[in-house]
Structure 1
Amino acid sequence: MPLFQCDFFSDTLKMATSMTVILPRDPSKFAKEPDGSSSGKYPTLYLLHGLSDDHTIWLRRTSIERYADEFGIAVVMPNVHRGFYTNMKNGFDYWTFVSEEVPSFAQASFPLSARREHNFAAGLSMGGYGALKMALRRPEMFAAGAGFSGALDVVSESLDFLFEKREYERIFGSKAETRGSDDDLFRLAEKLAASDGPVPKLYQCCGTEDFLYEDNLRFLKHIRALGLELLYEEGPGGHEWGYWDAAIRRTLEWLPLPERVGAGPV
């Protein structure tokens, strides 16, 4: 199936960067228009990497290329280094890059649908945070978001060993500044629950041996208290690729594309 390594200049980051794109082979799996006709464009999953990885990691550690072809979905994997999908206090505007520039560039360069109901985000760890942030903060753009072993509480002590204090502050500022801001998923969920706009479908999973397990349970409790729809799954597993390979396949089965051949329960 077509696999593209894209090197391009980012107007947002003001530097050269990269992303990887997978396209299905079968044009019969193009997304459908509301009248049932073919759009000529693929539904798209924006698949996000974790803190210590880059845009190539999903291809190297999972079967995402095979899964994407099976389920008929394009996959866009951008590189944000250690930027936590955030407009950094002292650094690069990775939130604007991933939520605005990457979709715009990808849709202009490849046959990808721009319709909300055909666009989704998923990711692991830091990328789980980023994917749910995209769904919660840009619900008009993304119909679903999925986080695996997500770093969902960015003011939690569970993340302290991942950063030197100065790196955290370069990204978010102080924890006091971060709590309640648009980088806080708990606050974003509250704003979404209070809004009159579209509400994306949400999926969350975490291994019971994962160091982020308690943070994930706390986020789950918060989402359910707000009355938002979220499918939660857990099971044996740590912060590791065997768990995430199974999670990404499960997500592709779950994505809300009832017209797609091979679609699973929604």
Structure 2
Amino acid sequence: MALFHVNFFSEALSMCMSMDVILPEQTTAQIGMKGVASGKPYKTLYLLHGMSDDHTIWQRRTSIERYVSELGIAVVMPTVHLAWYTDMAQGNRYWTFISEELPRKCRSFFANMSDKREDNFAAGLSMGGYGAFKLGLCASESFGAVASLSGGLDVVDTCRKNSDNPIWQQIFGPADQVKGSENDLFAAAERLKASGKPLPKMYQWCGTEDFLYEQNVRMRDHLLSLGYDLTYEESAGDHAWNYWDEKIQTVLRWLPIER
């Protein structure tokens, strides 16, 4: 695999941003690794970080480069700061950045990345799980499969419980205005289903001891009631990297990738 550290300017955010990108590389002599590059346009996984982290975290906490080495896919790991993958009520346009500008930038920098919906995926943990599901539900024309690990999927509930915290107000606006908005994934799932647009394949995991477990159960039940193609799993675990390291490997096996 080849690893790129990319610093670039975002027009949507009017600032310089960073991402790490893993690309397939055909290798035979690399110790302990077997690289695969098919010569076809790369299927691409956008791998999203949580609240306390940045674009480096998946490489620091997991062996993601090793896990994808024989899959022949690209992995894009961007920084999105503490913005919840959202066009903030009082701040910058991070949803526009992640859903529109970033994929376009990636394909301009790396021309072998496929632009087909069925070849583009998103996955993330915690805040990044919310971001991945948001890409699937609000940008389904661009992303064919999405996965959430321990996702913070009910921002209506989160904002209600933190209504006095200015951070949440800066991101989502007043707590009583979040329900039904573009940031409410429950409402987004209903709108997408009613629209007749293609629905994403979805994967969801959460540990039963996680403080976000009840949110995940509510989202599971909501998606299944609407008829989404959801693979849901749960097991013992809390909000920690030893579980996410294991479950990102499950996600990679689940993704619609030719082996």
User: Which whole-Å CA distance do the structure 2 matches of 1:256 and 1:127 have between them?
Assistant: 20
Amino acid corresponding to residue 183 of structure 1 in structure 2: N
Give 1:33's aligned residue: none
State the shift of 1:228 in Å. Answer: 1.3
Q: Give the conservation status (yes or no) of the 8 Å contact 1:151–1:159.
A: no
Give 1:138's aligned residue: 139
Q: What do residues 81-109 of structure 1 show as CA deviations (whole Å, max 9, x unaligned)?
A: 10000000111100000011110001111
Where does structure 1 lack aligned partners over 5 or more consecutive residues?
A: 31-37, 262-266
Give 1:208's aligned residue: 208
Q: Give the conservation status (yes or no) of the 8 Å contact 1:158–1:212.
A: no
Q: CA RMSD in A?
A: 1.6
Distance 1:66 1:164, change over 3 A: farther
Q: Give the conservation status (yes or no) of the 8 Å contact 2:202–2:229.
A: yes
TM-score of the two chains, using structure 2 as the length reference: 0.93
User: Which whole-Å CA distance do the structure 1 matches of 2:100 and 2:68 have between them?
Assistant: 23
Q: Give the conservation status (yes or no) of the 8 Å contact 2:18–2:78.
A: yes
Give 1:72's aligned residue: 72
Residues 20-35 of structure 1 aligned to structure 2 (within 5 Å) = 20-26=20-26, 29-30=37-38
Q: Give the conservation status (yes or no) of the 8 Å contact 2:159–2:175.
A: no
Q: What do residues 18-51 of structure 1 show as CA deviations (whole Å, max 9, x unaligned)?
A: 0110012138644xxxxxxx5x321000000000
TM-score of the two chains, using structure 1 as the length reference: 0.90
State the shift of 1:193 in Å. Answer: 1.5
SS in structure 1 of the partner of residue 108 of structure 2: helix
Q: What do residues 62-121 of structure 1 show as CA deviations (whole Å, max 9, x unaligned)?
A: 111111212221100111110000000111100000011110001111121111110000
User: Which whole-Å CA distance do the structure 2 matches of 1:235 and 1:108 have between them?
Assistant: 40
Distance 1:21 1:160, change over 3 A: farther
Where does structure 2 lack aligned partners over 5 or more consecutive residues?
A: 27-34
SS in structure 2 of the partner of residue 106 of structure 1: helix
Give 1:124's aligned residue: 125
Give 1:169's aligned residue: 169
Asked whether 1:3 is paired with 2:3, we answer: yes
State the shift of 1:165 in Å. Answer: 1.3
Count of residues in correspondence between the two structures:
250
User: Which whole-Å CA distance do the structure 2 matches of 1:177 and 1:159 have between them?
Assistant: 10
User: Which whole-Å CA distance do the structure 2 matches of 1:247 and 1:29 have between them?
Assistant: 24
